[in-house]
Structure 1
Amino acid sequence: MKQYSDRQLQIIKTVTESGFSAIEALSEHFSVSTQTIRRDVNALCEHGELRRVWGGVEPPPVSGNLLYAKRRILNVRAKRQIAAEVARHIPDGSSIALSIGTTPEMVIEALQERANLKIFTNNLNVAMQASARHDWSVTIAGGQVRAGDRDILGSEVEAFFDRFEVDFGIFGVAGVSPDGGLLDFSEAEVGARRAILKNCRTSVLVMDHSKLGRAAHMRGGNLSEVDCLFCDKPLPDHFAASLGSARVIIAPAFESDGADLGNTPREGTSQ
């Protein structure tokens, strides 16, 4: 197994968390020359830990989904920004269905100041955090737990969400295709997400900008089907064009006005 220096390990962590880092920024952060950083980066790229791109370095592309532990720290700042912004729009006493993934988990973390929430989920990480609150109720789907992912999928999960009608359905995706298609890595992931969308009054898609154009092989739904999308950056024009009808609100976390999601008028243009 390749042994990396402490600085190289920190470079991997920094780039993984941010999604991209410039060579000059890494040089300043670690207080070494750009030549030293380039040597470290070149070695890491040779071993597949990172990928060189114009102006800097980014995490390598993956053909399947990352392990949960790596997803948990990937673009973590953006995910926390998104989660905090979503939490501002959720009032006390709301009923919420939350799906699998690390961004919905961070939404639960950000909701800790809310009172009397009713949580319905197939995400064990969400359930564990929510169950620590004595004034919240938590209902979890039954079935076999996916090793490493800490969630439950399958027909039982879809039937579980079909039993409820909640105020908010909050879910992520593995990727978004250029035509606005919502992508995941399995039919079961798509099925759970679509069951949440079908059984909520306001559907909320949470994703950081790295999901735009990210490849995943299972298509299920489109951006035009969701009520609200929270992202850390505005959508590029070719993605925004796929919104279609006036059913979708694009609310970048740094631009939102803080109105309740359920009371926000639907508009066709990005916000």
Structure 2
Amino acid sequence: MVELSPTTLLATFGWPLEEPTSHDQNYLSFRDGETPESLITKFPPSQPKIIELDRSPSSFTAYSGSADPSMFKKLSHNANERDRRKKIRSLYSSLRSLLPAADQMKKLSEPATVSRALKYVAELQQQVERLVQRKEELLSKQGCMIHQENQRKDTMYSSLSSVSASQLGDREVVVHISTHKNHKIPLSEILLALEEDGLLLENSSSFESFGDKVFYNLHLQIMEGTYTFDSEAMSAKLVSLSAKRESPFQQIQELHIL
């Protein structure tokens, strides 16, 4: 066998063999002259470099433009989807607020909310129809009651008021009117109605009796012209004046109805 020395081994691998002792001398001089403190001074530790990122919109835009287009499209799609879901939740919340209070307290799902809203709309429509029908019934009953009340008052006024007329001569007429105190006709209206028939007042008197009765005695003169005295026609005309008069309460009530 051939003995391999370090010199032979280095020569075999092609490493340089000149000045074989120079490395050893350098190593010895390092060990003799250098200390760890001098090494630290000679080779100071390197500081880590801090890279500060630019967070400005222009930098983000430049980055987005230089990024993968498919990634940017995916991010945009996700953002739009979040906005869409947010709007849908807001719409469902608004719809839920229109439901009855008892249903608002329940934790209804979105399909259940839509279903309950549809049923609630149908219930409201039925309620409106019932109210309209009820209104028509009340108006019909009210009209019948007003008509009956008017008929009752006409009958009452006719029974409470009585008129008698007689002719004294060719040019004179006497009229006696009795009516109830609460439904008496103003004398001015009576005289105006008689004047339309061609009768002028000469004198009059009135008095009240027991039972709240009021009596009018009118002495009239027939104006010039053709006039045919008709006791029944005059009595009917004066009674109709009493029937047409309405109490203030009835007038206010009819105005309120209109």
Q: Same fold (TM over 0.5)?
A: no
- The structure with the largest alpha-carbon Rg is 2
Higher helix fraction (1 or 2): 2
TM-score, length-scaled by structure 2: 0.16
TM-score, length-scaled by structure 1: 0.16
